[in-house]
Amino acid sequence: MREDQNFPPVKLQQGQVWKCGDAYVRIVQLERLEVGYKSASNLKFSDGKHQHTSKKDFCRLLKGATLVAPAAGKTHTAASADTHLPTNP
């Protein structure tokens, strides 16, 4: 059994905020193959920097990150980059 099978898949959505180590990452633009995001040292994102990368590289960036969900008060841990790729029926 692979380690990442213990975690439910998390679908990437625009506006999500992820905690990656000491930094926060917010998805500002989500396309089929590319992600635009802003990384910052706090949740205000006032000192943030806009960046673009492929969805595959973005999922690698989120490996081990925690999804910050302020509305529900829940957090999810990203076990593997595979769990972030949306499934297309």
Q: Which stretches of 31-72 are assigned E, i.e. beta strand?
A: 34-40, 49-54, 66-69
Is 66:72 a contact under the CB 8 Å cutoff? no
Residue 58 placed within a domain:
yes
Domain count for the chain: 1
- The whole domain housing 35 covers 9-80
pLDDT at 4: 54
Output the pLDDT for position 52: 96
Q: What is the pLDDT of residue 23?
A: 92
**85 found inside a domain:** no
Give me the pLDDT at residue 78, please: 57
Query: Is 87 contained in some domain?
Result: no
Running along the chain, 89 residues long, what does each successive block of 10 average in pLDDT? 62 93 94 95 87 95 85 48 45
2 in a structural domain: no
Q: What is the pLDDT of residue 25?
A: 94
